[in-house]
Structure 1
């Protein structure tokens, strides 16, 4: 059975990218997310933008999604207050309504919202493709951002569970190899 995918872009907000702990490599990150977004739009793949309501006041410049990947007409937005984009949101219901069983995930920040949302998605029965070169984060006191991204790509690749008798897992794949 062919999977029905959706592109889920997490927290690519101005206040995350340029905030107190800025995301590293934003130019490449935005270009890669933009390439996925363009492909999804061209192929009619549903796009869902996730926004963290704790990043600035709703409607502020910090809260807004970066202009280069801003939602187009008909693209959905999910507002959240936790790292898990499914927690106390209607994301799962929206995906169900769209007939989606596979997510392509990109966005910010790798070790927080991207990781948590990917892990939760598989436990809810979704297959996940983590766009290995389209998620990013900030340097931490322990590791530079690039090492955090590389570590999570390796850590999450192959993570999965059996749900209703079928395997649901995460695959970390560069955007050049992702088919939407």
Structure 2
């Protein structure tokens, strides 16, 4: 299988505190559905956790832990990161190469930061990327709501063609983890 599912920064300090991200519970439920289908299809599930010393996201503190309700299973993979880029100064690229991964499905938090940066970096590194359009989220900002930010990312990222590999944004229900192609084609 040359596909992996990346679950970015779905952590307690980000999801369990008030105010919560846009559609927090629904996003976790969609991620759990994606993860279950990925595992059933033999696709690796990679949980990526952000850490910042001296903050609620400090390594191994309660806030750094994965969000309550997120389904984690034996055999899942884990990556620690310190920047918005899940590849920068981490073992993610090495892990994906060892697993023979060439395509990524991406979901998680924050749509305009870690999800955006990781999707762009993955495409720049040659990975075809599918963004689970309804399984990433962020907090409302002064300039835009979490819903507006997610819509913006879903519209903008697929328009980037200069990296070469395609970036697609489709709903979590459309994402397929079995067979040759991970995107359900409506005409088949």
TM-score, normalised to structure 2, is: 0.87
Q: Which runs of 5+ in 2 are unaligned?
A: 178-188
1:17 and 1:10 mapped to 2: Cα distance? 12
The answer for the alignment partner of 1:52 in structure 2 is 50
Which of these residues, 169, 174, 178, is aligned with residue 172 of structure 1? 169
Q: Residues 29-66 of structure 1, C-alpha deviation per residue, up to 9 Å, x if partnerless?
A: 11111110110111110111000012523222211112
Asked whether the 8 Å contact 2:32–2:71 carries over to 1, the reply is no
Number of positions where the alignment pairs a residue of Structure 1 with one of Structure 2: 174
Q: CA deviation at 1:14?
A: 0.7
Q: Residues 82-122 of structure 1, C-alpha deviation per residue, up to 9 Å, x if partnerless?
A: 00000001101100000000000000000000000000000
Moved over 4 A (4+): none
- Residue 62 to residue 70, structure 1, CA distance change in 2 (3 Å): farther
Q: Which runs of 5+ in 1 are unaligned?
A: none
Asked whether the 8 Å contact 1:161–1:169 carries over to 2, the reply is no
The answer for the alignment partner of 2:88 in structure 1 is 87
The answer for the alignment partner of 1:33 in structure 2 is 31
Task: Please report the RMSD computed on the Cα atoms of aligned residues, expressed in angstroms.
Answer: 1.5
